[in-house]
């Protein structure tokens, strides 16, 4: 028998003594009491000042199944803190005044999100402020001890909706590639797939976004508790992102292929069972088992060695310092909230009366489409008119806002040309670089589908005196207008034509009308000027 042990044997024997010490009944120094009360006080101030953002997050968890996993995040964070209670008892709380810098940055980020009306930016800013309050009030040593639990708070924010179209497109293309490889006759149009036995749509619910976000949360937690190497942690997080996307592609392919072999009703029934109860569990367990093969840390291992990192050397702060830190953090939060409120109430310079349809040479008024109209709630004025030249019909829509507020936003969820949403669905992006009236312009071009009908849509945004086809640029310009005293007027112009043959784009119809209408910027300016009145 030899007394030597291999590195693998050492790894396979968890350090029970250290683990037991870290989770033993912790005896916190008396100084922890005022610091804990001080941080709870500043947390209450932040949550009261930014209660709208906290409530909106909870409402999103409640109403959107994609973010149902967020209900588990706070209990997990509390468990992670509890597992570190022995480590916390060995470090001293002491204000870290440089923490006011990220606190100010988080407050500024909230102002930016509030002015730009981007909910997830406001929500991230709220979480950043909570994290910065821990750094400022409790100090650098405590923050380093709680680094991962604080990071994990970010999963409280319902984010990821922005990647849904990308996931829909990938899933559709992946499924079609496999179907064609198996010689299944396939017609592919954006997110719509047709085979001889039925038609399929890769809807938002089928994009796999809820699977990807939930797996990212699980993978991040698993990376922290089961791995010590940064490279292995990064690898398992990457695996948690890639595997669900690929797996969802196979799931969609499987549904369509089952329909090819049997019928679409049977395939949909299988999908509800497999995806709802079994599929997610199988893939998640597979990722965890694969990761376990390369694990280099026991779950009982201490989160860190606070002595080796020098976190126990700093002396404790005083109760007076704790409440001074609370005052500074609360003051910054209050300034941010006040500044955002002041920016929100800046008065508009003009208002809008009725918008008048422009005269377009060679085109006459036509009947409006009965089943399609863009939806821009809260617009101060709208114009919806259809034109025909005898053979082609094009619809023109304009929505104008004298200024953007919470209930009057140009770029926001539900404000779209894909409306009504229970009839029309986004199908694909189309080339948006155009030349209209001799001038180059870039539109947000898309194809939308509804029950056998197909429309092509060109859309532009007018914000801060600039024309763009990019909604993100429109958001940025709206932010610049509010922060730097620019033009508060915002508007959108939409052109749309229904396809006569659903497989042939109506680009020529839109191009012909747009050329006769004239350059988009000049045309939209003229429409807005005619309908504007001074305040």
The overall average pLDDT reported for the chain is 85
In which band, very low, low, confident or very high, does the pLDDT at 269 lie, cut at 50, 70 and 90? low
Q: Residue 23 and residue 4: Cα distance in Å, rounded?
A: 30
Q: Which of 499, 516, 467, 494 is nearest to 395 (CA)?
A: 494
pTM of the full structure: 0.76
What number is the average pLDDT over the span 492-512?
Answer: 92
Give the mean model confidence (pLDDT) for residues 108-130: 90
What's the CA gap between 41 and 38, in Å, rounded?
A: 5
Separation between Cα atoms, residue 130 and residue 136, nearest integer Å: 10
Tokens linked to 499? 């396809």
Which whole-number Å values give the CA distances from 291 to 5, 8, 9, 226, 286, in the listed order? Answer: 25, 17, 19, 8, 8
The tokens for 493 are 């112009």
Q: State mean pLDDT over 168-178.
A: 92
Neighbours of 69 (CB within 10 A): 18
Rg (CA), the chain: 28
The predicted-structure confidence for 213-260, as pLDDT tens digits, reads as follows: 989 999 999 998 888 888 998 999 998 889 889 988 988 888 888 888
- Quick check: 470 and 350 in contact, CB under 8 A? no
Q: How much of the chain is helix, strand and coil, in % rounded to 5?
A: 55, 15, 30
What are the tokens at 90?
A: 């060995």
Under a CB-based contact definition with an 8 Å cutoff, are residues 318 and 458 in contact? no
Main-chain dihedrals φ then ψ at residue 442, nearest 5 degrees? -125, 125
What number of other Cβ atoms are within 10 A of residue 108's Cβ? 16
420-469 confidence digits (pLDDT tens)? 877 898 888 899 999 998 889 999 999 999 888 899 999 999 999 999 99
Distance CA 444, CA 441 (A): 10
Question: How far is residue 489 from each of residues 211, 296, 486, 530, measured CA to CA in Å?
Answer: 40, 57, 9, 14
Neighbours of 232 (CB within 10 A): 17
């Amino acid at each position: 028998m030899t007394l030597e042990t291999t590195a693998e044997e050492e790894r396979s024997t968890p350090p029970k003594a250290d683990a037991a010490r870290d989770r033993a009944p912790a005896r916190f120094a008396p100084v922890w009491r005022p610091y804990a009360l001080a941080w709870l006080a500043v947390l209450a101030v932040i949550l009261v000042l930014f209660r709208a953002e906290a409530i909106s997050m909870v409402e999103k968890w409640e109403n959107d199944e994609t973010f149902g996993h967020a209900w588990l995040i706070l209990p997990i964070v509390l468990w992670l803190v509890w597992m570190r209670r022995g480590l916390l008892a060995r470090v001293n709380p002491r204000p870290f005044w440089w923490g006011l810098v990220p606190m100010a940055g988080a407050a500024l980020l909230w102002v930016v999100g509030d002015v730009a009306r981007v909910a997830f930016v406001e929500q991230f800013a709220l979480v950043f402020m909570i994290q910065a309050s821990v750094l400022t009030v409790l100090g650098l040593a405590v923050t380093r001890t709680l680094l991962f639990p604080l990071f994990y708070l970010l999963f409280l924010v319902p984010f990821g909706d922005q990647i849904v179209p990308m996931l829909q497109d990938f899933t559709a293309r992946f499924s079609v590639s496999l179907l064609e490889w198996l010689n299944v006759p396939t017609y592919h149009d954006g997110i719509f797939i047709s085979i001889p036995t039925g038609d399929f749509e890769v809807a938002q619910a089928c994009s796999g976004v809820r699977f990807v976000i939930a797996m990212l949360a699980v993978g991040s937690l698993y990376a922290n508790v089961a791995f010590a190497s940064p490279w292995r942690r990064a690898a398992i997080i990457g695996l948690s992102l890639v595997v669900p996307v690929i797996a969802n592609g196979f799931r969609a392919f499987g549904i369509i292929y089952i329909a090819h072999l049997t019928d679409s009703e049977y395939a949909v029934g299988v999908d509800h069972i497999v995806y709802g109860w079994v599929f997610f569990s199988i893939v998640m367990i597979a990722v965890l088992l694969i990761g376990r093969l390369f694990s280099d840390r026991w779950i009982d291992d201490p989160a860190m060695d606070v002595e080796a990192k020098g976190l126990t050397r700093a002396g404790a702060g005083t109760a007076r310092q704790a409440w001074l830190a609370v005052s500074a953090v609360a003051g910054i939060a209050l300034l941010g909230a006040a500044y955002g409120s002041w920016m929100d109430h800046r008065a508009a310079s003009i208002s809008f009366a009725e918008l008048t349809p422009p005269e377009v040479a060679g085109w006459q008024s036509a009947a409006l489409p009965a089943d399609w109209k863009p939806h821009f709630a809260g617009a101060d004025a709208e114009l919806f008119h259809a034109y025909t030249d005898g053979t082609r019909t094009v619809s023109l829509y304009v929505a104008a806002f004298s200024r953007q507020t919470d209930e009057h936003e140009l770029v926001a969820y539900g404000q779209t040309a894909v409306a009504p949403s229970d009839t029309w669905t986004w199908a694909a992006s189309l080339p948006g670089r155009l030349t209209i009236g001799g001038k180059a312009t870039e539109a947000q071009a898309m194809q939308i589908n509804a029950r056998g009908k197909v429309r092509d849509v060109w859309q532009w945004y007018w914000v801060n005196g600039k024309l763009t086809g990019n909604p993100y640029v429109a958001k940025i310009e709206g932010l610049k207008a509010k922060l730097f005293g620019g033009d508060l007027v915002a508007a959108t112009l939409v052109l749309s034509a229904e396809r006569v043959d659903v497989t042939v784009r109506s680009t020529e119809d839109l191009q012909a009308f747009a050329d006769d209408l004239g350059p988009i910027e000049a045309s939209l300016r003229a429409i807005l000027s005619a309908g504007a009145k001074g305040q």
